[in-house]
Amino acid sequence: MTYLRFAFLDTAWWLALARLLDALDRPGPERAAGVGDAYRALAGAISAARRPDLATIIAAALIDEPAPFQVGPDGAPSVGVLALLDLDMRTFAGLASRDYASEVRALGTTDAPDLRDLAFPAEDDERRTVIGGLATALRLGAAREATEALIAVLRGHGSGPAALNHALRYTGGRLTAVAAPHGASLDDLVGLDDQLARLSANTEALIARRPSHNTLLYGPRGSGKSTAVRGLLERYGRSGLRLVELPVDELHHLAHLLDELRTLPQSFVLFVDDLGFEDGDSGYRPLRTLLEGGLSGRPPNVALYATSNRRHLVRERFSDRPDPLDDDVHGWDTQHEKLALADRFGLTLTFPDAGQRRYLELVTALAGARSLTIDDLERRAIRFAEWGNGYSGRTARQFIDTLLQDRGVAEELR
């Protein structure tokens, strides 16, 4: 049906649409028998995909997968691909603008509502703006305008999950969207003004395509390292920042990921949480591609932000150090190579341990931000920490969450 191969042609909603088209094309009584079931299947598939209508689901699919063609330096496909794309968009526009409800009702199926308003809009204002022009053109059956709208989206936002999603995950060698990212705010991090200012300045440099650093956030558990990285999305997501969760066991795909991201218009922070390696683990070596620069170099729109509880990322024991009597004359070179990994980060931010005084400062600040007034706040906070996970920023947030739960229960009982 199409000249260019789009991945969404194998999705449930597309297969349901193909089933309906096949039923409408059948002759005589056999046609009417299958149309009602096929129409209901399509309505259910669009609703399950959380899209309001067929035009929107097609528009989102065209943007949300990597384009099956190249876009040149001028932001447009080649002349040959453009001709094929025009033909495909004519097909998509015809499908999106077709009045299926009237055709189904004409065959005697009375329970055939229009395929629109099938779900609440799944996008925020930014995503609706990206999708809206293309969806409108498809809904009106305007193929040429749809082609122009798609090219404009590819020029300004690229294609694939990064075009419509701020939070992403790289698993199995594929970039996928995080449907419900864990929200975080930099405003919740108290007493870390210097660390957050330097992290923000580096992130702004990345977004502006100025020289930026790969960054190591080092400190004890619960000190706010991961929250600081996640909180960047709230502040810079609308400025083109994308946060990509990169598990340590996916580092061997790093070179492929960099090649995929370097051509996209957004800026990407590759987020490796709790980075660390045991002795004998060679998994740290792919990081050199990013930290030192391989043959192709680090893309100007990509930086690595890693958190770690250890300043030296490769665990070292005294027994691991080279034996002076060992025949390996280059033993110390191997050891220094591993221990110098942390030094290859251009920016290292240290997050301090909380301690009781800092812990109470965090509790007081978080309580004030949430309008919590508790007479014995400090005493209860200390008891919560001593009975729980000790003094840390994470414990402070857990304590405040507990107070909010208690307040909610009290309000329900009134």
Task: Mark which of 323, 350, 377 sits at the end of a domain.
Answer: 350
210 and 113 both lie in a single domain: no
343 and 361 both lie in a single domain: no
Q: Is position 296 within any domain?
A: yes
Domain limits for position 207: 186-350
CB-based contacts of 174, cutoff 8 Å, min separation 6 = none
374 and 342 both lie in a single domain: no
335 and 363 both lie in a single domain: no
Q: Is the dihedral of CA 315, 318, 321, 326 positive or negative?
A: negative
Task: Mark which of 311, 332, 350 sits at the end of a domain.
Answer: 350
48 and 157 both lie in a single domain: yes
The pTM assigned to this predicted structure is 0.79
198 and 345 both lie in a single domain: yes
121 and 270 both lie in a single domain: no
Could you read off the pLDDT tens digit of each residue along the chain, which spans 414 residues? 788 988 888 899 999 999 999 988 877 666 666 888 898 899 999 998 888 899 999 999 999 988 888 887 777 889 999 999 999 999 999 999 999 988 888 887 778 888 888 877 655 667 788 899 999 999 999 999 999 999 999 988 888 999 989 999 999 888 999 978 887 888 878 788 899 999 999 999 999 999 999 999 988 887 889 999 999 999 999 899 999 999 988 888 888 898 889 989 999 999 999 886 655 555 566 676 667 655 556 899 999 999 988 655 555 444 454 555 555 544 445 544 555 666 788 899 998 877 788 888 888 888 888 888 887 888 888 888 888 778 887 888 888 888 888 766 555 444
Q: Is position 304 within any domain?
A: yes
264 and 197 both lie in a single domain: yes
CA atoms within 13 A on the CB side of 191: 21
Task: Mark which of 350, 381, 404 sits at the end of a domain.
Answer: 350
Pair 188, 397: CB distance under 8 Å: yes
Q: Is position 174 within any domain?
A: no
Here the CATH number for the domain that contains residue 267 is: 3.40.50.300
CB-based contacts of 115, cutoff 8 Å, min separation 6 = 42, 43, 46, 53, 54, 100, 101
Q: Is position 180 within any domain?
A: no
CB-based contacts of 234, cutoff 8 Å, min separation 6 = 183, 184, 185, 186
Instruction: Count the domains in the chain.
Output: 3
Q: Is position 169 within any domain?
A: no
User: Two tokens at 173?
Assistant: 């060698």
Q: Is position 339 within any domain?
A: yes
CA distances for 345 relative to 195, 305, 312, 395, angstroms: 15, 9, 11, 29
325 and 293 both lie in a single domain: yes
Q: Is position 2 within any domain?
A: no
Q: To which residue do tokens 């065959």 refer? A: 107
117 and 264 both lie in a single domain: no
147 and 233 both lie in a single domain: no
Q: Is position 179 within any domain?
A: no
330 and 408 both lie in a single domain: no
